[in-house]
A = this chain, B = another copy of it.
Amino acid sequence: MSRYLNSYYVNKNGMDKNELRNKLISTATRLFAERGLNGVSIRELSKSAGVSISMISYYFGGKEGLYSSVLQEQFSSFEQIDDINKTDSEALAKIEAYIRWIIVRHRNNPYLLRFYTSELTNPTQFFPSIVQPAIGNVIQILVQIIEDGIAKNQFRKDLNPVDTVLAMAGMVNYYFLSTLATQELINHSPERDQELIRHYMDIFTKGILS
């Protein structure tokens, strides 16, 4: 119920302008992740957010605009991977940091689990400016890490960097994907995360070390 400095209007809902906007974004994030763009009507969405339906057009220019905003917010987190590459660590440590990063991201972000989908690869066509640079950026950085490791004789010389990156990311991703597909609950404990990271790193490093 708190007010924002740049807002002078408080509605009978008790939400001010920014609260209302955020409520729409967070509700849309959850619902679109669960059922896709076409799987959610703005009537249900606005009702679930406790807000009038017209607010979606008012603030986001319509349903697609809201969807675009959600994607923008979700994929902006990809930029954080730059930090991993800037450290002085060895290539292997960087890779472990990346695996840790992608696991945490997947835990909190259903869009990373689902952005391959028909509903969400359409956005890569409709909103290529949001999704493609994010993915491309991650792949590029990881390829560079692998290439560094090869150059410093830490990794096998015959590795194909791009395929290796995809293999590595795949090991982590697929665990979550299959967990979803088989309808099992994702166990959120940090201990299980640690166990996973250790396990994947173990398999992976034996395959790439020189």
Chain A residues close to B by CB (< 8 Å): 33-36, 38-39, 113-122, 124-125, 128, 131-132, 135-136, 139, 160, 163-164, 166-167, 169-175, 177-178, 180-183, 196, 199-200, 202-208
Contact = CB atoms under 8 A, between A and B. Distances in A.
6 contacts: A114-B116, A117-B117, A131-B181, A167-B175, A170-B170, A205-B207
Contact of A113 (B116, B131, B163, B196): B116
A34 B112 CA distance: 19
Contacts of A199: 160, 163, 167
Nearest to A175: B166
Contacts of A132: 182-183
Contacts of A169: 174, 178
A178 to B, nearest CB: 6
A35 B182 contact: no
A170 B175 contact: yes
A203 B164 contact: yes
A41 B177 CA distance: 28
Contact of A167 (B120, B171, B183): B171
Given A167-B174, A205-B207, 15 more contacts: A39-B119, A116-B116, A116-B117, A116-B177, A117-B117, A117-B119, A118-B120, A128-B183, A132-B182, A139-B182, A166-B171, A166-B174, A167-B199, A171-B171, A206-B206
